[in-house]
Amino acid sequence: MQSSGWTEQHSQALREYLGKGLSFAEVANAINARFNTAYSRNATIGRARRIGISGPERPERLLRPKPQPKPAPVGLKKRHARPVAPTRPKLPVGERAAALNLRCVGIAPRHLSLIDLERGDCRYPYGGDKEGEAITFCGHPRREGSSYCVSHFHLTSGPGTASERSAGKVLLRLVEAA
C-alpha cells in the first residue's frame, strides 16, 4: 500500500478544522498554509473518509438546486409529438419470413476463406446465413482506399459523400432475386 504522506499532525489539524465547520477546500488551504504542504480539496476529503470522520453538515439550500423548467419563448408554437410508425412490419409470433436469396452485383465471387485472402483482396462476405454455413469472401482485387472491390464498394457506400450518406438513408442497388 502506498503511503499517503499525511502525518499525525496533519490528520489532527484536519479533525480540528472540520470540527470548526470549515469546508474541505478551506481545510486544505489552512493545512497547506500551516504546514507548507500542497494538499488538494480532494486529498482532504479522501483522508477524512479514511480516518472515519465526515465533513461539515451542509444546509439543505446548498445542495443541488432542482432545475426549474424554462418558460417557452413568446410567439413560438409548441410542437406536438407525432406517433412514430414502425420501421419493420411485425410478424405473428412464431412465424418467420421466408429468406430471399438476393444477388447484390453482377460479379462472380471467388468464395475465398478468411485464411486464403491476400492483402489486396475484396473482403465482401458471402454465406453464413444458415446454421453451420461457412462464410466466404469475394476475393477480387480491392478498390484503392477500401476493403471492397469496385462493385461491392458502390453497393455498400451509396451516392454522395460520407457525411451525406450518414445524414440520410443508404441506398443499396440490388439486382433481381435469384
Residue 83 falls within a domain, yes or no?
no
Judge whether 103 and 112 are in contact, CB under 8 Å.
no
Number of domains in the chain: 2
pLDDT of residue 2: 47
Angstrom distances, CA of residue 28 to CA of 4, 13, 22, 53, 130: 15, 10, 10, 15, 66
Q: What is the pLDDT of residue 74?
A: 66
Residue 76 domain flag: no
Rounded Cα gap, residues 53 and 36, in angstroms: 23
Domain membership flag for residue 67: no
State the 10-residue block means of pLDDT for the chain, 178 residues long. 75 92 92 94 92 69 66 64 64 63 68 90 87 88 88 72 55 59
In a domain, 89, yes or no: no
* Domain membership of residue 22 as a residue range: 8-58
- 78 belongs to a structural domain: no
> Does a structural domain hold residue 177?
yes
Residues 108 and 165 in one domain: yes
The position carrying cell 465526515 is 54
Q: Are 44 and 108 in the same domain?
A: no
Residue 84 lies in a domain: no
CA atoms within 13 A on the CB side of 117: 21
User: Is residue 85 domain-resident?
Assistant: no
pLDDT of residue 24: 92
pLDDT number for residue 26:
94
Distance CA 121, CA 148 (A): 8
Gyration radius from the chain CA atoms: 33
Between the CA of residue 139 and those of 51, 70, 121, 127, 168, what are the distances in Å? 66, 59, 5, 14, 30
